[in-house]
């Protein structure tokens, strides 16, 4: 496969995968259990999910490392397994997709707040991101995905850490917004213009948004990113807003609903489209048919 940067420069649209947590819960992930333990104890499940997304048409398949920072793993007494957890995640996805899809290294928030809002020093957070990024890069990922960020300072630390250990690997960075009367902001008060500029300045090759909303609201977010981003845009919408049905959390947007909104994402200039919470291989398959 050609490199992601080259394909995006040609104006191509690249399809990502969908939710992982949704499928892991279906396969036995329990409340309070770190999903990353599957990388060590049940790698066949990681391979299975990766293969499902590949078969659905995804060209970018994500690693199960969203909480793979040692700062996050520390809460589960797993910080000393950081390298193993991240390397095993990459290996499982690579076994499933080979060279037929890009392996994308997921890096989510640490769950800690930086000073002065919290007790975590920037240097400690940066070192944690650098350790995770080094493990992922050493395992041979094709892309880094810094995702679901709400604090631009934390997102910037993650992107900068990746650049320090893997200067040539492309970076996709997305933030999660809320809709207010004044427009879209993260819970930490970051606007879309600030996110677009800040992520790019830190070294991200692709910027955008994931999580938080279904397809219709993500179209609005994509249009605003297009006004302020000088780099390609990625959007990963939820399958709608979650609702409770018969005691279970469900996401109401069907594969057809998500695919129906995709043309407007494309019209807004989005070049990487995928799914977040509640989306499944069926949603990705519907997007694949539409993109074709």
Residue 249: the pLDDT is 84
Residue 65: the pLDDT is 98
pLDDT in tens, 159-182: 999 999 999 999 999 999 999 999
Residue 247: the pLDDT is 80
Instruction: Find the mean pLDDT for residues 208-232.
Output: 97
Judged against a pLDDT cut of 80, whether residue 1 lies above it is answered with: no
Residue 131: the pLDDT is 98
Per DSSP, 114 falls in state B
pLDDT in tens, 246-281: 888 889 999 999 999 999 999 999 999 999 999 999
Residue 175: the pLDDT is 98
Q: Which residues face 114 on adjacent strands? A: 120
Residue 120: the pLDDT is 97
Residue 76: the pLDDT is 97
| Averaged pLDDT of the chain | 97
Going from the N-terminus, what domains does the chain have, and what CATH number goes with each? 4-291 (3.20.20.330)
Phi-psi region of 269 (alpha: psi -120 to 50; beta: other; left: phi over 0): left
Residue 160: the pLDDT is 98
Burial call 99-120: b when 16+ CB within 10 Å, e when fewer: eebbbbbbbbbbebebeeeeeb
Instruction: Find the mean pLDDT for residues 110-117.
Output: 95
Residue 48: the pLDDT is 98
pLDDT in tens, 31-66: 999 999 999 999 999 999 999 999 999 999 999 999
Distance (Å, rounded) from C-alpha 53 to C-alpha 70? 28
Distance (Å, rounded) from C-alpha 226 to C-alpha 98? 33
Residue 273: the pLDDT is 98
pLDDT in tens, 180-204: 999 999 999 999 999 999 999 999 9
CA distance readout (Å), 190 to 32, 97, 121, 171, 179: 29, 36, 20, 20, 12
């Amino acid at each position: 496969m050609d490199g992601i940067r080259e394909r995006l420069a040609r104006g191509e649209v690249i399809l990502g995968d969908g939710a992982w947590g949704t499928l892991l819960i279906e396969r036995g992930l329990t409340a309070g259990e770190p999903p990353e333990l599957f990388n060590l104890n049940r790698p066949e499940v990681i391979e299975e999910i990766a293969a499902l997304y590949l078969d659905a048409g995804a060209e970018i398949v994500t690693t199960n490392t969203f909480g793979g920072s040692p700062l996050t793993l520390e809460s589960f007494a797993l910080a000393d397994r950081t390298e193993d957890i991240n390397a095993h995640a990459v290996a499982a996805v690579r076994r499933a997709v080979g060279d037929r899809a890009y392996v994308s290294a997921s890096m989510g928030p640490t769950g800690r707040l930086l000073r002065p809002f919290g007790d975590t020093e920037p240097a400690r957070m940066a070192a944690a991101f650098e350790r995770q990024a080094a493990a992922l890069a050493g395992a041979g990922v094709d892309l880094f995905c810094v995702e679901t960020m709400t604090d631009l300072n934390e997102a910037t630390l993650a992107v900068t850490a990746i650049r320090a250990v893997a200067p040539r690997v492309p970076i996709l960075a997305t933030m999660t917004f809320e809709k207010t009367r004044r427009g879209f902001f993260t819970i930490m008060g970051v606007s879309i213009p600030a996110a677009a500029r800040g992520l790019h300045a830190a070294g991200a090759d692709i910027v955008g948004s994931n999580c938080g909303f279904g397809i219709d609201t993500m179209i609005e977010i994509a249009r605003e990113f297009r006004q302020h981003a000088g780099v390609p845009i990625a959007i990963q919408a939820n399958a709608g807003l979650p609702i409770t049905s018969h005691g279970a959390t469900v996401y109401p947007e069907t594969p057809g609903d998500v695919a129906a909104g995709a043309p407007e994402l494309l019209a807004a200039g989005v070049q990487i489209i995928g799914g977040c919470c509640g989306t499944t291989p069926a949603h990705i398959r519907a997007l694949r048919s539409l993109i074709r």
